[in-house]
Amino acid sequence: MRSSGWMAIATTMLGSFLGEAVAVGGEDGASLRPVQVKAVSVNDHFWAPKQKVIRRDTIPHSWPYVEPSIEEFRRLATPGRPPVEKHIKWGEANLYKVLETVAYALAQEPDAALDRKADEVIAIIAAAQRPDGYLHAWSMARKLRPWDDLYLRHEGFVCGHLYEAAAAHFLATGKKNLLEVACRSADFAWEHFVHQQNAGFCGHAGMELGLVELYRVTGNKKYVELAQAFIERRGQHPERAVRYPPAYFQDDLPVRQQQSINGHAVRAVFFTTGVADLALETGDRDMRAAAHRLWESATQRKMYITGSVGSESTQEAFGPDYELPNNGYTESCAACGMANLAHRMLRLEGNASAADELERVVYNGMLHGMALDGKSSYYQNPLSDRNRLRNNNWTCCPPNLSRTVLLVGKYAYAYSDDRVYVNLFVGGTGRIPLPKTPVALDVQTDYPWQGTVKIGVEPERPAEFALCVRIPGWCRGATARLNGAEVKKLELCKGYAVFRRRWVPHDAVVLELPLPVMRMEAHPAVQAARGKVAIQRGPLVYGLEGLDNEGLSLVNLGADPQFRVEYRPDFLGGVSIVHGLTAEGKPFVAIPFYALGNRGKSSQDVWMNQQDKRENRDGWQGTLYREYRGRPL
């Protein structure tokens, strides 16, 4: 890599705060800056045990499933050896996602053995890389020309995950071994597509956002230039779309003309994330507007109440507006992608509504994909399911899920020049490199089971800044105390309660969020939810499982289901269950959606029939789900 890139890396390291490397990217379009995984310590009863399962159980369980990719790299380092038969063309993306998961694990908790294992695997990868920087083991082993089948070979998808893993590994460990591999690969791609002006873009989006992540740790603007080229080239020659329609690849229109998120759901979400990343780093207003349009298309017309997306099994795609069947496809990777996209949109727009959708997907759709034991998963996460067991389908989802679970701490906080943001209520500590003074936040909470959130504010020295705490969109009647005194009226800005003052050590804000059991309804255009409601408490969507309800998971609710909440610490890892009565007076039990499917075969449903429900078509502007308050007058 060029010396200027390593100078930027040195600047990054010198700018670190309490172990957090500060990105060198300009972020000309950013409203909020991210806090890295290494700067957050998660210590609560909800996320901490789940992250421990990933570190203790999921990572060791993952290595055998990526061994074909490791073996392919080993063979490439020895000329004349045949390809690995069981290695698939996108398989090494899983290896890179495992390495990214390992990076986050090392950032959270030192582990010398795991660190050595990662270095050993990275050395095997580096030894196989071509001298010119090209790296796609499946193609190399089969002696294929680089970038010869852009739409279907998944080279860009694989490289994108390499770049994300390399940036995460560098930020977590300070080591350059994987970063050097990634930069050589990206330099080769820039030479091919930009300098030599070879046409096309990679059919499975993901390289774009990975290139921007590389830029953020190196400062090499070529990577943003290449990401922009891939994004801008879409929609120019849709006749290239081989056996799939152009929209499948987000190639039906130029990005500046795209109005709706369409096509293969994972590709579309990754593409939109790349557009948002480009807007963050360049300040391009057209890119910002495009990201906003695609984001609104997804969240206001095409997202399930659990945060999952991609309703059509044909081409694993987004369907038309409001087409959200209860047996929809809902791939786990799409939910993970939506979490990352929501985080980018939060940073781009600084609006708590993006954090609301981030919360929706991580507590429901994403978390449902991974079994509680961390060793099996779901590829699909429909809202109505029957007798489907979890398995070890390593097409793509398991390492995507594990890395996203470990990212929750990063999602929880953000900052600007004079504001600190609390986006998610995750117990533990966050260290925020505010320009005026470093600030440590100590969050104590039993969220989502309880609604009390205490935020201790510890600036390194007294300073004036604003603490912005999200008031969830589902919440009614939030109250707060500052240093024990009641705040008479909350100052609200873009969905955040703003506490501006001269902060000194030991200051504290206590937020009280009421957590009633709510019935939720969908926009009347969602046919699959007509006449139905879903149960939600706080951020958690609930479902009925036949194992708890005499084999039934679809029930009828009356005017007053008489909900009652019971916390059971010894059940499904510790959950609050919801008791209620059907319209016929029979008791039923609902459990969090994420916990469904962890006890063997059963029937499962989220939407329940609501007796005498009439659809109210008023007041739905910009809203896909809202609380059901009974029969309209």
Residues 6+ away with beta carbon under 8 Å from 502 = 462, 463, 464
ω into residue 448 within 30 of 0, thus cis? yes
The pLDDT value recorded for residue 86 is 86
Considering the entire predicted model, what is its pTM?
0.95
Confidence of residue 79 (pLDDT cuts 50, 70, 90): confident
Most distant CA atoms of the chain, gap in Å = 77
**C-alpha–C-alpha distance, residues 365 and 523, integer Å:** 19
Q: What is the pLDDT of residues 115-153, one digit of tens each?
A: 999 999 999 999 999 999 999 999 999 999 999 999 899
In the numeric block, which tokens belong to residue 489?
């009226």
**C-alpha–C-alpha distance, residues 277 and 223, integer Å:** 12
Q: What is the pLDDT of residues 559-600, one digit of tens each?
A: 999 999 999 999 999 999 999 999 999 999 999 999 999 999
Please choose, from the candidates 500, 476, 497, the residue with its C-alpha nearest in 3D space to the C-alpha of residue 423.
497
Confidence of residue 4 (pLDDT cuts 50, 70, 90): very low
Position 235 pLDDT exceeds 60: yes
Residue 554 vs residues 61, 64, 437, 520, 606: alpha-carbon distances, Å: 35, 39, 54, 16, 8
The pLDDT value recorded for residue 239 is 62
Q: Are 261 and 270 in contact (CB under 8 A)?
A: no
The pLDDT value recorded for residue 377 is 97
Q: Give the whole-number percent of the chain exceeding pLDDT 70.
A: 94
**C-alpha–C-alpha distance, residues 153 and 204, integer Å:** 9
Position 110 pLDDT exceeds 80: yes
User: What amino acid is encoded at 109 in this protein?
Assistant: E
Residues 6+ away with beta carbon under 8 Å from 185 = 129, 133, 134, 135, 159, 162, 163
Q: Are 125 and 98 in contact (CB under 8 A)?
A: no
Confidence of residue 236 (pLDDT cuts 50, 70, 90): confident
Q: What is the pLDDT of residues 287-329, one digit of tens each?
A: 999 999 999 999 999 999 999 999 999 999 999 999 999 999 9
Domains, the chain, in order of start with CATH, read 3-413 (1.50.10.20), 436-512 (2.60.40), 517-627 (no CATH)
Position 159 pLDDT exceeds 60: yes
Confidence of residue 3 (pLDDT cuts 50, 70, 90): very low
Q: Are 598 and 571 in contact (CB under 8 A)?
A: no
SS3 (DSSP) at 468: strand
In the numeric block, which tokens belong to residue 195?
């300098």
Q: What is the pLDDT of residues 6-62, one digit of tens each?
A: 333 333 333 333 333 334 444 556 689 999 999 999 999 999 999 999 999 999 999
Position 1 pLDDT exceeds 90: no
Q: What is the pLDDT of residues 180-205, one digit of tens each?
A: 999 999 999 999 999 999 999 999 99
